[in-house]
């Protein structure tokens, strides 16, 4: 049997981390077994803007390197893959279920079913529809219609025995049929519901393994009922534990951003991203800028492989120590047997740890490539950087080293790409370091050294400063901080001598002069 898995997003306009994890496991399983991964669009419930609402989802998957063999934009032998385009098929399926006596027309009004549901609630029993307005014959139907009622179609679920199946993750599962609802599969307006569509599509698309989130576990009996009704061979089911909220155990939800932000770890990651966005002058809207959504990581410049690697380990493991996987290794080792049964809470800090490792391991040229778009967005770099510009980006990237954790962190080193007269000073650092007693004078005395030192490279500069410090009889800390603030505008940064070398002699001198002029102009100036 050939392996075919699917992920079925509904076009909501965003790609949720939990969804990605589910999709990833489907993708890995298909790749592991030389099968196909299918993207099916569950858009039975919405009409318009499907394309627009799908865009971020498809883009997100592409960014993550999760490609699909069949589905939107790539087509496939079972097209169309949009449920909204398959209504004829569903209509026929409903007709057949009706003919086989596995479904019935139901003429209850919404108020009537609601009343029954509430009564059941009061009596502390599970709500099972009474079938009072069930029409199994045309005569019944005509009578109800005479009363001005309209019909929905419900599944006529068994009222005895149990639905048993073997779940690849959870083992043997059993549900009492008598506790199953007569689910509606066709609305009064003739449109179809998810369970019908899903069961039919899984068969039509020849899905071999339905790997989905745990919240669908209790939906499984009704889908099995439908599939069995048609005599379809059942797919193998695998219900994944859901991804839980940071520091909590309820399902991760995009809407609870505010709550998650009260969690320090989560907030740290969010703030880090928000800071980068602020530097870029981009407004941060929770609709998309939210660590629960893939969009966040893409915007801020995480490595897609880091996200994928982290998500892989959320509910799955190979052994007691392997954590870093290449894509090929993931595919090679993935198995449903090693999927966990309990919910795993999303930990953005650990996610960041994977990101740091990936970013560190990235070859310089790839790092330059990753980082450049942010400089372009800052307006500090043209779309086609010159060789000199590339060289400078590379020098900064190398000097910054692991301080660049996400690609967007390059904005912290904007001063290397800004004009000598225009880059900003951190006021607090300026006051503390250059405003310190004698700091400006020392800078002034050190300036000639910078003018003459040859060559103008980090090692030589280092030695020259050492000599200066000895001659002055001061500690290195008494000049180095002032120098850093003068040339970079900041109190923190990577190695000072590297910074000087990258800027070059002319820029260093110009920047020191500017800082000294600011001091002379008095407090508050520049």
Q: What part of residues 222-241 is at the interface with RNA (CB under 7 A)?
A: 241
Cα end-to-end span (Å), the chain:
73
Write out the two tokens for 181.
């609802």
Residues with Cβ within 8 Å of residue 252, at least 6 apart in sequence? 16, 17, 18, 242, 243, 244, 245, 246, 292, 345, 346
Closer Cβ to RNA, 22 or 290, answer by number: 22
| 269 touches RNA (CB under 7 A) | no
Q: Segment 299-328, which members bind RNA (CB under 7 A)?
A: 313-315, 317, 319-321, 323
Helix (H) or strand (E) holding 36: strand 36-39
Binding RNA (rule: CB under 7 A), the pick from 6, 36, 481, 511 is: 481
Q: What string marks each residue from 18 to 57 as x (binds RNA by CB under 7 A) or -?
A: ------------------------xxxx------------
Out of 78, 82, 127, 165, point to the residue binding RNA (CB under 7 A): 127
What would the two tokens of residue 506 be?
Answer: 């002319």
Query: Where is 27: in which H helix or E strand?
Result: helix 17-32
- Count of residues in contact with RNA, rule CB under 7 A: 88
- Whose Cβ is closer to RNA: residue 31's or residue 195's? 195
Residue 402 makes contact with RNA by CB under 7 A: yes
Q: Which of 131, 378, 495, 505 binds RNA (CB under 7 A)?
A: 495
Q: What is the footprint of RNA within residues 187-216 (CB under 7 A)? A: 187-189, 193-195, 214-216
Q: Which is nearer to RNA, 196 or 519 (CB)?
A: 196
Q: How far is CA 289 from the centre of its chain?
A: 10
Q: Shortest Cβ distance from residue 202 to RNA (Å)?
A: 13
Residue 2 or 218: the one with the smaller Cβ distance to RNA is: 218
CB closer to RNA out of 48 and 124: 124
Q: 75: exposed, middle or buried (C-beta count within 10 Å: 0-12, 13-18, 19+)? A: exposed
Provide the minimum distance between the beta carbon of 152 and RNA in the complex, in angstroms, as a whole number.
Answer: 5
Stretch 327-366 residues interacting with RNA (CB under 7 A): 338, 340-345, 347, 349-350, 352-353, 356
Among 440, 493, 502, 508, which residue interacts with RNA (rule: CB under 7 A)?
493
- 431 secondary structure, DSSP code: I
d(CA 123, CA 127): 9
Q: Which is nearer to RNA, 158 or 248 (CB)?
A: 248
Q: Distance between CA 305 and CA 406 in Å, rounded?
A: 12
Task: Convert residues 420-459 into a mask of x (bound to RNA by CB under 7 A) and - (unbound).
Answer: ----------------------------------------
Closest CA to 186 of 215, 210, 154, 217: 154
Closer to RNA at the Cβ: 217 or 261?
217
Q: Is 225 helix (H, G, I), strand (E, B) or coil?
A: helix
Q: Which residue, among 418, 419, 440, 415, has the nearest Cα to 499 in the 3D structure?
A: 415
Q: What span, in angstroms and rounded, lies between the C-alpha atoms of 254 and 17? A: 9
The verdict on whether 124 is a catalytic residue reads: no
Q: Is the dihedral of CA 480, 486, 490, 494 positive or negative?
A: negative
- The order of strands in the sheet holding 184-186 is 134-135, 103-106, 152-155, 184-186
Instruction: Name residue 144's beta-bridge partners.
Output: none
Q: Which residues pair with 5 in a beta bridge?
A: 37, 209
Minimum distance of RNA from residue 2's CB (angstroms): 25
Is 108 an interacting residue with respect to RNA (CB under 7 A)? yes
Is residue 247 involved in binding RNA (CB under 7 A)? Answer: yes
Question: Smallest distance, Å, CB 78 to RNA?
Answer: 17
Phi, psi of 424 (to 5 degrees): -85, 155
- Please list every residue from 70 through 89 that binds RNA, using CB under 7 A: 83
**Which two structure tokens, joined as six digits, stand for 407?**
């690609």
Per-residue tokens: 17? 């981390």
Which residues 156-185 are close enough to bind RNA by CB under 7 A? 170-171, 173-176, 179, 181, 183-184
Looking at 186-194, 225-233, 270-278, 292-300, which segment touches RNA (CB under 7 A)?
186-194
Binding-site member from 8, 226, 293, 380 for RNA (CB under 7 A): 8
> Which sequence positions are flagged as catalytic?
254
């Amino acid at each position: 049997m050939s392996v075919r898995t699917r992920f079925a997003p509904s076009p909501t306009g965003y790609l949720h981390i939990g969804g990605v994890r589910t999709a990833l496991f489907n993708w890995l399983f298909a790749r592991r077994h030389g099968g196909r991964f299918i993207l099916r669009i569950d858009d039975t419930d919405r009409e318009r803007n499907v394309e627009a609402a799908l865009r971020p989802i498809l883009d997100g998957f592409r960014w993550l390197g999760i490609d699909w063999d069949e589905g939107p934009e790539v087509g496939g032998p079972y097209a169309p893959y949009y449920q909204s385009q398959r209504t004829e098929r569903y209509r026929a399926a409903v007709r057949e279920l009706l003919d086989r006596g596995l479904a019935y027309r139901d003429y209850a009004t919404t108020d009537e079913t609601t009343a029954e549901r509430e009564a059941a609630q009061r009596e502390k029993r599970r709500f099972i529809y009474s079938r009072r307005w069930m029409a199994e014959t045309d005569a019944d139907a005509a009578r109800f219609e005479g009363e001005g009622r309209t019909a929905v179609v419900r599944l006529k679920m068994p009222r005895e025995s149990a639905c048993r199946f073997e779940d690849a993750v959870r083992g043997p599962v059993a549900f009492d049929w008598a506790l199953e609802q007569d689910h509606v599969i066709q609305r009064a307006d003739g449109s179809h519901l998810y369970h019908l569509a899903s069961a039919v599509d899984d068969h039509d698309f020849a899905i071999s393994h339905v790997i989905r989130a745990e919240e669908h576990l209790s939906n499984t009996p009704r889908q099995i009922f439908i599939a069995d009704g048609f005599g379809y061979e059942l797919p193998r089911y695998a219900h994944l534990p859901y991804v839980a909220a940071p520091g909590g155990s309820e399902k991760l939800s995009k809407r609870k951003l505010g709550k998650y932000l009260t969690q320090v770890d989560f907030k740290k990651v969010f703030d880090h991203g928000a800071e980068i966005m602020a530097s870029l002058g981009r407004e941060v809207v929770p609709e998309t800028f939210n660590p629960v959504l893939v969009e966040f990581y893409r915007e801020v410049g995480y490595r897609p492989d880091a996200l994928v690697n982290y998500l892989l380990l959320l509910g799955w493991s190979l052994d007691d120590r392997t954590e870093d996987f290449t894509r090929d290794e993931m595919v090679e080792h993935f198995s449903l047997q090693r999927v966990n049964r309990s919910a795993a809470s999303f930990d953005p800090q650990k996610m960041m740890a994977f990101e740091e490792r990936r970013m560190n391991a990235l070859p310089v040229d790839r790092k330059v490539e990753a980082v450049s778009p942010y400089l372009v967005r800052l307006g500090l770099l043209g779309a086609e950087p010159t060789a000199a510009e590339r060289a400078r980006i590379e020098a900064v990237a190398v000097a910054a080293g692991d301080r660049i954790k996400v690609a967007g962190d390059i904005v912290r080193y904007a001063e290397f790409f800004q004009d000598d007269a225009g880059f900003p000073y951190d006021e607090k650092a300026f006051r503390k370091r250059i405003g310190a007693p004698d700091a400006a004078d020392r800078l002034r005395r050190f300036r000639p050294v910078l003018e003459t030192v040859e060559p103008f490279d980090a090692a030589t500069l280092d030695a020259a400063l050492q000599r200066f410090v000895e001659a002055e009889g001061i500690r290195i800390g008494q000049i180095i901080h002032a120098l850093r603030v003068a040339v970079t505008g900041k109190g923190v940064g990577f190695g000072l001598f590297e910074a000087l070398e990258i800027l070059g002699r002319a820029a260093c001198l110009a920047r020191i002069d500017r800082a000294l002029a600011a001091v002379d102009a008095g407090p508050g100036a520049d």
